[in-house]
Amino acid sequence: MPHRPAEAEHIRHCPRCAATSLSWHSTKNFHCNACGFTLFLNVAAAVGVIIECRGKILFGVRRNNPGKGMLDLPGGFVDPEETAEECAGREVLEETGIKIPAGSYFMSLPNSYLYRDITYSTLDLVLTVRLDEFPAMQAADDLIELLWVDRDEVDPEQIAFPSLREAVRSYLLQPAVPLL
Ligand SMILES: [Zn+2]
């Protein structure tokens, strides 16, 4: 089992027959030598949304670990049969109450998400949305507070995840769109 990845330390038994003779053919799939069961531990797709309005970026404060109390972009894991754009709309609505227009694809970055002792590998798809008017909003779900932060005052080090930190840094390198 030379390929068993550190994040799969908890997988010691076959989920089908409970045998312990698992072979890891790569870091993302294993095979049970007793019953033939094979499972792929695929990367999970997640979405983060950079919402800009009048020179300010919307951040949420995380309710839970990982990154409890740190800044985050609205977003979350993509559901089965959902597009990244649909996920963005759903997650932003759930976490902020804001109905956003369709977002634009910006970039993707790999991330690791440690939740209850299990590390999930994700691919964070970052979308951007521009609003002309500040919307009514209410923090909910994974976020306890929402903050509009001036582009000039964003401190990426306050953002919980390295992937979204990097995305926000890249986004801020772009010139601000002039106000209408
Ligand atoms: Zn088995």
Cα(40) to ligand 1 centroid in Å equals: 14
Is 115 found in the same domain as 91? yes
Residue 49 token pair: 């949304």
Check whether 177 has a pLDDT greater than 70: no
Cα(170) to ligand 1 centroid in Å equals: 46
Cα(119) to ligand 1 centroid in Å equals: 23
Residue 26's pLDDT band (boundaries 50, 70, 90)? confident
81-131 pLDDT, tens digit each: 999 999 999 999 999 999 999 889 999 999 988 877 788 899 999 999 999
Cα(30) to ligand 1 centroid in Å equals: 10
Q: Are 50 and 168 in contact (CB under 8 A)?
A: yes
Is 126 found in the same domain as 108? yes
Cα(32) to ligand 1 centroid in Å equals: 5
Residue found under tokens 């002309």: 132
Cα(62) to ligand 1 centroid in Å equals: 39
Cα(33) to ligand 1 centroid in Å equals: 7
Is 78 found in the same domain as 156? yes
Give the chain's end-to-end CA distance (angstroms, integer).
Answer: 59
Dihedral (CA of 109, 173, 143, 67) sign: positive
Is 35 found in the same domain as 55? no
Is 85 found in the same domain as 20? no
Q: Which of 47, 130, 30, 128 is nearest to 83 (CA)?
A: 47
What is the per-residue pLDDT for 6?
72
Is 82 found in the same domain as 62? yes
Where in the sequence is the domain holding 162, given as residue range(s)?
44-173
Cα(66) to ligand 1 centroid in Å equals: 33
Cα(116) to ligand 1 centroid in Å equals: 25
Cα(3) to ligand 1 centroid in Å equals: 18
CATH number at 132 reads: 3.90.79.10
Check whether 1 has a pLDDT greater than 60: no
Is 110 found in the same domain as 129? yes
Cα(13) to ligand 1 centroid in Å equals: 8
Cα(43) to ligand 1 centroid in Å equals: 23
Is 119 found in the same domain as 94? yes
Which segments of the chain are extended strands (E)?
22-26, 29-32, 38-40, 44-53, 56-62, 71-72, 75-77, 104-115, 118-131, 143-150
Is 146 found in the same domain as 57? yes
Q: Are 24 and 14 in contact (CB under 8 A)?
A: no
Is 148 found in the same domain as 131? yes
